[in-house]
Chains A and B, each alone.
Chain A
Amino acid sequence: MENLGALALILAFLLSVYAVAGSIIGAWKDRPFLVESARRSIYAIWALVTFASGLLVYGLLASDFRLTYVASNSNRDMSWNYKIAAWWGGQEGSLLLWSWILACYAAVVVFTNRNKFRKMFPYVVATIGGTQILFLLLNAFIASPFKLLSVNRGIAAVPDGQGLNPLLQHWAMQIHPPMLYLGYVGFVVPFAFAFASLITKQPGDGWIHTTRRWTLVTWLFQTIGIILGAGWAYSVLGWGGYWAWDPVENASLLPWITATAFLHSVMMQEKKGMMKVWNIALVSSTFFLCILGTALTRSGIVSSVHAFAQSPIGVYFFVFLGIGIGLVIFFILGRLDYLKSESQMESVVSRESSFLFNNLFLLASCFAVLWGTLFPVFSEALTGEKVSVDAPFFNRVNVPIGLALLFLTGIGPLIAWRRSSTDALRRNFLWPTVGMVITIAVLLAMGMRHFYALMSFGLCTFVTWTIISEFWKGAAAIRLKDGLSLPASFIELTHRNTRRYGGYLVHMGIVFMFIGFTGAAFNQNKTTETKIGEKFTIGRYEVLVKDIEEGDNSNYIWQNTTLGIWSDGNYLGDLQPERRLYKASRQASSEVTIRRRLNEDLYFNFASSSEDGKTAIVQAYVFPLVTWIWIGFWVVLFGTLICLVPNKIRPSGGSSESTLTGVREHAPVS
């Protein structure tokens, strides 16, 4: 069985080499049959990789502990869903998942575009195929998931496996890696179209229109993946944070930042024919950062809390990156005149300018994060001393960038293309600015002195006001003209320009997230050592240690403490944080408890007990506003889905709406 799997992967590898060679030679020598066969080999690759993946999943489900991968990532006691999740629980399996998702995407792209883009499509196939070569090379020869356990020369099997790391036995962790991969891998497709259109000098922005939805969906998957990781860290790891600027987290953030920049800057190309080189560079950077991220998390070149194996596969990724980046630069330089901008910047106070600065800030952030992540590598190369930087560095740079971006979120959508008059500025921004000033004044009066927090809350008010007024103006006009009810006119408005109003919703979600991030400025924490029957206080809460209990089951031994919570004399209920030791893996695990509320979360970790079992050591935290991050995420998700809905075709004459509402431009915003 394992031989069949390994064989399928080798065949798929050979076919992907064929897909690349066939496409390029076929397009070059004008041999349609060769191109067609290369195109169809994508389906065959999909079938083979699917077959191999199926075998691995079967091995996991059937607990075939002759396989090294199964033995080290699964055990008999795990439920079936975790057995499947073990597919991406380790190095070899997760690389196979990468390959499989890529093969699926490739098959979908080839199928949906089977009669389109005759000229550039061979290059799309070649680009996707080239990426597939890298991963199948690793799957088939370097990190094969079908390796058997061997003792001397015979095949061995262990009675039971190591099991999936218990920390990863959590619903969010089951879907976090596939989501991130769906996002990571998805950027191959826009990149392939951009690159192919660059090579074949396609006129116009065909590649942008074709891949717009694709890019958005991919971006959404990345967002979901990142937030799931953050939410998991918050509710499982026991330190109460959701982001630690760890290299592996940064690796997932980098392509997200460039992808966000790309989503914005393509509008400049669509509307004004500007930033063409820039867009190609952005989509390429996003793709290469995805590859870099995959490499960073696996090669062990930067140390991380994420326990991925250190392995020699990094060099393959870096060779691939070198070749890829070289090719992109070569083709961009060779086609500069075809990428000429069609208009120019006219004023610093204009929509164009806001896009430009949006990109500048995002790229600066990306650069800072990349620099900080690779700092140990650079410093070792330059000075011989390995120096790392941690959270204070990243926060110091990224907090001001974040606030600047938040400000642009409010400004950008309302400012006119080309140049904006002082009058229009006053009309659009007077009241939001007043709202911002009032918010800051009130918070100051309440005693808040944290500069960034004040700015952040003020800007959140500013942006919220602009977004609400945009919806309000548009809906009021529809209500007046079509006589719809207010809620119906909101829906109608959104439906007429889903990209614009969906984009506003995404912005609103981002504002909620900023509210949540800002709450971190007021976190409180405390480690206490308290006897049963005694109380301690944290924030406005009084906590009574009621009891400590211990027990044992087939999977783990456990100990928990029951905490009674009071606030201002009111009893709020009991919380029961627990700590476990899993027997199979001898891995400890803390089960924190969280009382989640909109204003603040109360969070307990049971660190240890005294030997006599009478004293509990508890870490207690208060995290203000953190729930708004997760709320913001749902709003972002909803807004992005709205962006994907096609616009409703308006009845004739509908364009008068813009003059009615004073909204000058129906520019898509997303």
Chain B
Amino acid sequence: MNTYVKFGSLIVVVLGTLAWLAVGGVSDAKAYYKTIPEVEEMGNKAVATRLRVAGDVQKGSIRRVGQEVHFTLTQEGKTMQVVYTGTDPLPDTFRDDSQALADGRLQPDGVFHANKIQAKCASKYEAKPGQVKPESNEPVALPKTANTAS
């Protein structure tokens, strides 16, 4: 057999296998970016698909209940209840007013069950006219967990 044909067929086999793996990988790992209003519009369809929803963490909404973390995401005036059920620790940047990206599925009861959370600090300090100190004087304290029934 011609050397070029041999090389050609080997390369085709290799790339074909990888492409097949990649296509399978995409359907396993894909998640749709949606805004909170879009999720509401999707209705029942939203329950079946894996979603990534971004928003601001509503101030004071973070509650730890045992190993779960409950909070509210807000975006464009709409809100969504989120329960974090993942095993990884939450990022240190996750706190009140931070931007968070919740990755998971909407449950039929309208609560979003996230198994992954990414968070970013709200935009960095930029002085605006008349505003010198960027943050309020809220008390500084480590967040604690609400005691569970146990």
Task: Using CB atoms and an 8 Å cutoff, list the residues of chain A in contact with chain B.
Answer: 68, 71-72, 90, 149-152, 156, 158, 162, 165, 167, 237-240, 303, 305, 307, 309, 345-348, 353, 356-357, 360-361, 364, 368, 371, 375-376, 385-397, 400-401, 404, 525-527, 529, 550, 557-559, 579, 581, 583, 586-590, 605, 607-613, 615, 617, 619
Contacts and interface: CB of A to CB of B under 8 A. Distances in A.
Nearest to A148: B127
A273 B72 CA distance: 63
Contacts of A610: 144-148
Contacts of B145: 608-611, 615, 617
A309 B120 CA distance: 10
Given A72-B125, A156-B127, A364-B15, A590 B29 contact: no
Contacts of B44: none
A529 B93 CA distance: 22
A513 B112 CA distance: 38
Given A396-B21, A397-B18, A527-B87, A307 B120 contact: yes
Nearest 3 CB-CB pairings of A with B: A396-B25, A393-B29, A393-B25
B92 A588 contact: yes
B52 to A, nearest CB: 6
Given A388-B30, A588-B142, A151 B147 contact: no
A387 B144 contact: no
Contacts of B77: none
Nearest to A401: B18
14 contacts: A303-B54, A305-B118, A309-B123, A348-B7, A360-B11, A391-B29, A529-B67, A550-B142, A586-B95, A586-B140, A588-B95, A588-B142, A609-B144, A609-B145
B25 A605 contact: no
Interface in B71-106: 87-93, 95, 101, 103
B28 A393 contact: yes
A371 B132 CA distance: 44
A123 to B, nearest CB: 34
A392 B25 contact: yes
A68 B147 contact: no
Nearest to A153: B129
B52 A388 contact: yes
Contacts of A376: 33
Contact of B142 (A387, A396, A581, A619): A581
Contact of A608 (B11, B64, B129, B132): B64
B142 A529 contact: no
Given A152-B129, A392-B28, A396-B22, A346 B92 contact: no
B121 A396 contact: no
Nearest to A552: B140
A71 B125 contact: yes
Nearest to A71: B125
A72 B142 contact: no
B111 interface: no
Contacts of A605: 89
A583 B140 contact: yes
Interface of B: 3-4, 6-7, 10-11, 14-15, 17-18, 21-22, 24-26, 28-33, 52, 54, 64, 66-67, 87-93, 95, 101, 103, 118-121, 123-127, 129-130, 132-135, 140-148, 150
A350 B99 CA distance: 54
A357 B28 contact: no
Given A239-B88, A345-B7, A529-B67, A615 B147 contact: yes
B18 A611 contact: no
Nearest to B96: A586
Nearest to A582: B140
Contacts of A608: 64, 143-145
Contacts of B93: 167, 307, 587-588
A305 B120 contact: yes
B121 A357 contact: no
B114 to A, nearest CB: 13
Nearest to B145: A608
Contacts of A158: 127, 132-133
Contact of A590 (B10, B17, B89, B118): B89
Contact of A364 (B6, B18, B118): B18
Given A368-B22, A525-B87, A527-B87, A579 B144 contact: no
A559 B88 CA distance: 20
A529 B91 CA distance: 19
B22 A586 contact: no
B44 to A, nearest CB: 18
A452 to B, nearest CB: 12
- Give the interface centre of B17, B121, B134, B144 by most chain A CB atoms within 10 Å: B144
A588 B95 CA distance: 8
Contacts of A375: 26, 30
Given A386-B32, A581-B141, 6 more contacts: A390-B29, A392-B25, A557-B142, A579-B142, A589-B92, A613-B144
A587 B121 contact: yes
A144 B17 CA distance: 48
B141 A527 contact: no
A248 to B, nearest CB: 12
Contacts of B92: 167, 237-238, 587-590
Given A397-B18, A590-B92, A345 B3 contact: yes
A535 to B, nearest CB: 16
A389 B30 contact: yes
A156 B120 CA distance: 27
Nearest to B95: A588
Nearest to B131: A151
Nearest to B68: A527
A5 to B, nearest CB: 19
A560 B7 CA distance: 60
Given A348-B10, A389-B30, A611-B147, A397 B25 contact: yes
Contacts of A395: 25
